[in-house]
Structure 1
Amino acid sequence: MTDIFAKHQGLREAYEGLTAASPRNPFEVVIERPISASVGIIEGRETLLFGTNNYLGLSQSKKAIEAAVETAETMGVGTTGSRIANGTFGLHRKLEAKLAEFFRRKHCMVFSTGYQANLGTISALVNKDDVLLLDADSHASIYDGAKLSGAQVIRFRHNDPVDLEKRLARLKDHTGAKLIIAEGIYSMTGNVAPLDKFVDIKTRHGAYLMADEAHSFGVLGAHGRGVAEMQDCEDGIDFVVGTFSKSLGTVGGYCVTNHDGVDLMRLCSRPYMFTASLPPEIIAATMAALEDMQGRPELRTKLQENAARLHAGLQKVGLKTGEHVSPVVAVTLETVDQAVGFWNALLENGVYVNLSLPPATPDNRPLLRCSVMAAHSPEEIDRAVAVFGEVARHFGL
């Protein structure tokens, strides 16, 4: 019998080589319990959490916790069906209305995860007769949505309006739809997209533009609507997709738009049609976290201050970070062995970050990816920077 896993032999060898050289498996770190948004117990030790994407600290929102408990007690813990079967509760429609109002859009679809939001939106919007123009550093969920759609995929250089326009110009005789997809903040590097320039380009070339604001929702803009709000180009974005699992601290995803085709999307988006809907307690917690976010704009101010403090601190100790100051701060290293050793030393000294390895990283270089929170104190950030500096000196960096 043919070994069904034989096709993964190369992956197996790489995985075994990585785990053999590391005192712990970097892909199976267990946060035994959170003490607060910024501190958790890992390996029995209190550890600073700088790898959770919990940008506003709202995973610990008292309002969200209370809403979840009350709703679970009154409505149960699940829907047991998809949105087009028995899985649409009044709470789902209420959340969609609140998100549409927040984003100043006419329509909203809520998905069970952020991954499914990209998968379901992209595959519902385009097909084999259409063209997708994707930023080369797009998230895996965007590429998977492109595969599911069957559309022709053209990649343009990361954050490069000139390259995008050049590729669009070659499509002037294409009769199908053209959909550009970019992210607000890129999850690996923290780079911020020039969405305002992309809006100008898509308008000149008769294309549509979708922005994935997963890591910028709640983070950027005067009201937390993301990069498009910050760059004053919201009206030029046709579709905004994002997730609840970052700034709102729960789980789920959404697509908001002014285009009158959402009801059709609900009938042809397979990830929406064939997945159980979000449980009522998660919907309730998400709405409470959204209200918390809207009522506490000071969280965004504190988050930006903390992001600048961490970014400057890591550069001061001689480490290479991205050029943009955002809540994602990535330290670039040269070799996988170096990155694995550095990551282990950080954890042993009480700082947890994400270890990101090729081929999932830009330029195929390993990253130590930090995500800062509004909940971090200046002292916690300074402690993390000090540990980074000590480890860097140990490794001769």
Structure 2
Amino acid sequence: MSILDKFSPLAGRYDRMRDSGADPFSIKFDDVVSSVEGVVNGKRTLLFGTNNYLGLTFDPHSVEKSVEAIRLHGTGTTGSRIANGSYKGHEELEAALADFYGRKHCMVFSTGYQANLAMISTLVGQNDHLIIDADSHASIYDASRLGHAPVVRFRHNNPDDLAKRLSRLKDQPGDKLIVVEGIYSMLGDTAPLKEFVDVKREFGAYLMIDEAHSMGVLGETGRGLAEREGVEEDVDFVVGTFSKSLASVGGFCVSSLPGFEILRIAARPYMFTASLPPAIIASTTAALETMRSEPQRRAKLTANARRFYNGLKGAGFTVGPEANPIVAVILNEVDVAVAFWKRLVDEGMYLNLALPPATPSHQAFLRSSVSAAHEPEHIDFAIELMTRVGREFGLLPENVHPFPPRQVTAERLSARAATMPARRPAADVGAGMA
């Protein structure tokens, strides 16, 4: 017997997947050429699974600021801000984020996961109540386990169910914290935030929104769903990440509640984790500046998302409920999803394979994330490739076309990509995309 034997069922499922020739957990990029193109097994591959919403991973401003910071301040801080102090850049980024959101306070964390873990587990104690959406991200569920508050789940995006569950807690002592997300990471659907705010007000609860996938994507200035819905004053805490629109790594929470700063010495995941290195802080600050000064990126992202979503839906695929940058094709059979995913990778398109139990309703998804850096040719290539494979797998009708047929060949696509700015040649990638 071994301490690892408890994972035998999981290992068995993983082995069966690998035996089929597909292993999404061991994808290796030989090179990453641009925000939307990489090299997998010597083949040029379009990237549709990176969450690189604004296409800033190769942004010259961010790259140069990062290089400058690493030369001036070294590779890391080697400790937490509580133990080793804050660098000037940490405080500047927090001030910039607070200003962006129009809030008084901001804390920066080393990951977005850690931001949820710290805030949720610290804000609600054993005499309080945590109320979360049933389809919440794993970081929210893990935070609920780390904390000591009783946890109540309500049906996904259902304000009536939220109200019903809060009504049962009406006479219970303690604070109530509701946690929802701006854009949910699997199906790409948004929360009915105005209705949730009405419920929050009725029962005197606090509201936190995780804008990880909606920052830089929604709202007039990119502050997320709360901005788009006009309810920012009713949201007590906004949590977000740097690993999506800001193209780096890290997380944050902003708030205007008095006394917020005490969380720096109350939140254990903040206190006992090494702070972000100067290079990451610098590139994130630069990316935030670019996001604020170039709203056209968000406009192009929206147009790309609608083009891709409508193209797949028009071809006959079952997709999520909204045309957001996360576009999920919903498949019922895991084996079909795995084979479909492998075929796309083999033919030059990388996206995410999402499998139960990590997915809502225990369905299998082919999950794409669209970028502002994608060109129409990229979108059309992906739609036509997925449509062709879908028909070969017997998932789509033969006579339905997502748009008037055209030749979006790999050669044409690769030639178009070669003219794009802010990219570099791939190193020895052979014949290119096939």
Query: Is the Cα contact below 8 Å between 1:87 and 1:276 reproduced in 2?
Result: no
Equivalent residue number for residue 10 of structure 1: 9
Query: Is the Cα contact below 8 Å between 1:80 and 1:87 reproduced in 2?
Result: no
Query: Is the Cα contact below 8 Å between 1:120 and 1:271 reproduced in 2?
Result: yes
Equivalent residue number for residue 356 of structure 2: 358
Amino acid at match of 1:84: I
Q: State the distance in 2 between where 1:205 and 1:255 align.
A: 24
Amino acid at match of 1:308: R
Query: Is the Cα contact below 8 Å between 1:118 and 1:145 reproduced in 2?
Result: yes
Q: State the distance in 1 between where 2:25 and 2:245 align.
A: 23
Answering whether residue 48 of structure 2 is matched by residue 53 of structure 1, we say no
Equivalent residue number for residue 24 of structure 2: 26
Query: Is the Cα contact below 8 Å between 2:22 and 2:338 reproduced in 1?
Result: no
Among 39, 52, 70, the residue aligned to 1:72: 70
1:252-287 alpha-carbon deviations (Å, 9 max, x no partner): 000000112322111111110000000011100000
Answering whether residue 312 of structure 2 is matched by residue 314 of structure 1, we say yes
1:210-267 alpha-carbon deviations (Å, 9 max, x no partner): 0000000011000000000000000000000010000000000000001123221111
TM-score (norm 1): 0.99
TM-score (norm 2): 0.90
Q: State the distance in 2 between where 1:150 and 1:394 align.
A: 51
Amino acid at match of 1:211: I
Query: Is the Cα contact below 8 Å between 2:180 and 2:209 reproduced in 1?
Result: yes
Q: State the distance in 1 between where 2:168 and 2:268 align.
A: 31
Equivalent residue number for residue 266 of structure 1: 264
Equivalent residue number for residue 337 of structure 1: 335
Unaligned runs of 5+ in 1: none
1:286-322 alpha-carbon deviations (Å, 9 max, x no partner): 0000001111000010000000000000011111001
1:32-56 alpha-carbon deviations (Å, 9 max, x no partner): 2211111111111110100000000
SS in 2 for 1:33: strand
Answering whether residue 96 of structure 2 is matched by residue 98 of structure 1, we say yes
Answering whether residue 240 of structure 2 is matched by residue 251 of structure 1, we say no
Q: How does 1:280-291 map to 2 (within 5 A)?
A: 280-291=278-289
Unaligned runs of 5+ in 2: 396-434
Amino acid at match of 1:12: A
Equivalent residue number for residue 161 of structure 1: 159
SS in 1 for 2:34: coil
1:25-78 alpha-carbon deviations (Å, 9 max, x no partner): 111111222111111111111101000000000111110000000011011110
Among 332, 344, 347, the residue aligned to 2:345: 347
Amino acid at match of 2:376: P
Q: State the distance in 1 between where 2:270 and 2:237 align.
A: 16
Q: For structure 1, which segment, 31-40 or 157-166, has the greater mean C-alpha deviation from structure 2 after superposition?
A: 31-40
Equivalent residue number for residue 203 of structure 2: 205
Amino acid at match of 2:183: I
Q: How does 1:181-192 map to 2 (within 5 A)?
A: 181-192=179-190
Q: State the distance in 2 between where 1:128 and 1:59 align.
A: 41
Amino acid at match of 1:193: A
Amino acid at match of 1:319: F
Offset of residue 90 of structure 1: 1.1
Q: State the distance in 2 between where 1:240 and 1:119 align.
A: 14
Query: Is the Cα contact below 8 Å between 1:109 and 1:262 reproduced in 2?
Result: no
Equivalent residue number for residue 149 of structure 1: 147
Offset of residue 119 of structure 1: 0.1
Larger CA Rg, structure 1 vs 2: 2
Amino acid at match of 2:10: L
Equivalent residue number for residue 179 of structure 1: 177
Among 327, 331, 345, the residue aligned to 2:325: 327
1:317-343 alpha-carbon deviations (Å, 9 max, x no partner): 111001111000000001110000000
Amino acid at match of 2:17: L
Offset of residue 24 of structure 1: 3.3
**Percent of aligned positions that are identical:** 55
Offset of residue 127 of structure 1: 1.4
Q: State the distance in 1 between where 2:218 and 2:88 align.
A: 30
Q: For structure 1, which segment, 196-205 or 351-360, has the greater mean C-alpha deviation from structure 2 after superposition?
A: 196-205
Q: State the distance in 2 between where 1:27 and 1:378 align.
A: 29
Query: Is the Cα contact below 8 Å between 1:334 and 1:365 reproduced in 2?
Result: yes
SS in 1 for 2:24: coil
Amino acid at match of 2:3: I
SS in 1 for 2:63: helix
1:159-216 alpha-carbon deviations (Å, 9 max, x no partner): 0101101111111101111000000000001001111111111011010000000000
Q: State the distance in 2 between where 1:357 and 1:191 align.
A: 18
Q: State the distance in 2 between where 1:68 and 1:156 align.
A: 42
What is the RMSD of the two structures over their aligned residues, measured on CA atoms? Answer: 0.7
Offset of residue 87 of structure 1: 4.0
